[in-house]
Amino acid sequence: MIKRLFSYCFIFISFAAISQNAANDSYWISFEEAEQKLTEKPKKTLLYFYTDWCVYCKKMERNAFVNDEVKKLLQDNFYAIKLNAEHTGQIHFDGISFGNSDAKTQRNAVHDIVKIFARRDKAPIAFPAVILLDENFKVIDRRFTYLTTDKLVNFLKQTEGIN
């Protein structure tokens, strides 16, 4: 009986944790979804590029992106796109298909769409990469570092009309 009760509790806690994580990620959309939404209702876009091995990416996801103020800012003012920078699948955006052209020849190869938005002239791409785009998908600002909750809020609020 106790074993069965323990099993039920474990299952309940597991489902609660999964549901909580799903609720926290409700503002993330794909590039394809963003393209459709941008034609229907133009909005600023936040790109968040991460990798599985990036400790600071995981820290941002655990702290900054689950903050209520950050979630509200993203839901109300932005389309938010989250992408693993080493993704090997195809992304169709603006009539072009993007892939990870180096995936078969390089370890930890970066997706081509990440290279486009996160490239830097005199430095390699670093993660986490947080990129703010205007309604026309033009870069407003970029950060290639861990952002605390306060720094992420300030980064999001830097655009006109956001309080």
Long-range residue pairs from 85-90, CB within 8 A, at least 24 positions apart, any chain: 85/49, 85/50, 85/51, 85/110, 85/111, 85/114, 85/118, 85/125, 85/127, 85/129, 86/51, 86/52, 86/110, 86/111, 87/111
**What pLDDT, in 10s, does the model give residues 12-50?**
444 444 434 444 568 899 999 999 999 999 999 999 999
Domain ranges of the chain: 27-157
**What pLDDT, in 10s, does the model give residues 111-120?**
999 999 999 9
**What pLDDT, in 10s, does the model give residues 105-161?**
999 999 999 999 999 989 999 999 999 999 999 999 999 999 999 999 999 998 766
Reply yes or no on domain 27-157 having CATH 3.40.30.10.
Answer: yes
Q: And the tokens for 30?
A: 């794909």
